[in-house]
Amino acid sequence: MTVPIDVSAALIFLASCAVGYAVYRHTREISTALPKIGEMGTAFGAALATMSLLSFLFGVSVDRHETPTNQPPAAVVSSSPITGAGGPGNAGTALLLPSPSASTPGSTPPAAP
């Protein structure tokens, strides 16, 4: 299975890894402990901050290439007042009504009042 990765997203990830590695090397060089160790948490934080900043700057999107389905929506929004929906304070408010195709097969429709 192949996973398609956008080129700009891959470059941002690689740049973030390079920044994280550079921060790790720098913290290892200035470490006073013996043996000299770098700070992984600081390096990871720098890489994450770099990735976030570059993603916002270059606008990496999460467009999914899904095929559209021919199924109707599960709910219909209506802004017309419905009689018996409430008092005068509810007139003109949007109501969420179930779509006729959203009912399950074999179920009986509700009885009319």
8 A C-beta contact, residue 44 and residue 79: no
pLDDT of residue 91: 55
* Most confident option among 28-32, 45-49, 88-92: 45-49
What are residue 84's phi and psi, to 5 degrees? 80, 10
The mean pLDDT value of the chain amounts to: 76
pLDDT of residue 99: 60
Among 24-33, 36-45, 68-77, the least confident range: 68-77
Q: What is the pLDDT of residues 55-94, one digit of tens each?
A: 999 877 666 555 556 666 566 566 655 555 555 555 555 5
Q: Tell me the pTM.
A: 0.51
